[in-house]
Amino acid sequence: MLIRSYVHSDLSRLIELTIETFGPFYEDSFRPLVGELIFSIQHGNWRDDYRKQVAGLHDPDSCKYVAVAEEDDVLAGYVAWTVDPARPVHGTITILAVAAEHRREALGTALCEHAFDAMRAQGAEMVEIGTGGDDFHAPARAFYESLGCIKLPLAVYFRTL
């Protein structure tokens, strides 16, 4: 496995990987949970939202970084992070995505450790990483806890009017 810095030619694969990774959450978990009205308002354009978000993840001038993992010359995952210059002791993992066929191969761990090292080099003393509290995100919660992250209980509610 090779972990390297993002290059612009990675963009289309990163968008594709992000949509593949999180599509089951939006379509099979979130949509049935909240119903069509809330889904359409909150995340009805989730694919386009990711196309925009992923395109802006790597901007070193704004302290935003992406590293990708390649396995046999195939982009298998990526991690994006920020270190806020106003709060330099605080880093944030923005997104972590690993292709389904490469999960359980320690790619996520290697990507997170890479980002943690980069944040430490920028002076960060803590990292924030978030995920959902639903069943879809249970593996992510277990993974983050295995990295030594502490879960902060949080509740978010939606209701149609």
Q: How many CB atoms lie within 10 A of CB 105?
A: 16
8 to 31, 49, 56, 59: CA distances (angstroms): 32, 19, 11, 11
Q: Which two tokens stand for residue 35?
A: 């119903």
pLDDT band at 141 (very low <50, low <70, confident <90, very high): very high
CATH superfamily membership of 2-146: Gcn5-related N-acetyltransferase (GNAT) (3.40.630.30)
Tens digit of pLDDT for each residue in 27-78? 999 999 999 999 999 999 999 999 999 999 999 999 999 999 999 889 999 9
- Packing angle of the helix pair 11-24, 46-55 (nearest 10 deg): 140
Domain boundaries, the chain: 2-146
**pLDDT score of 155:** 85
CB-based contact 107:70 (threshold 8 Å): no
Its pTM stands at: 0.92
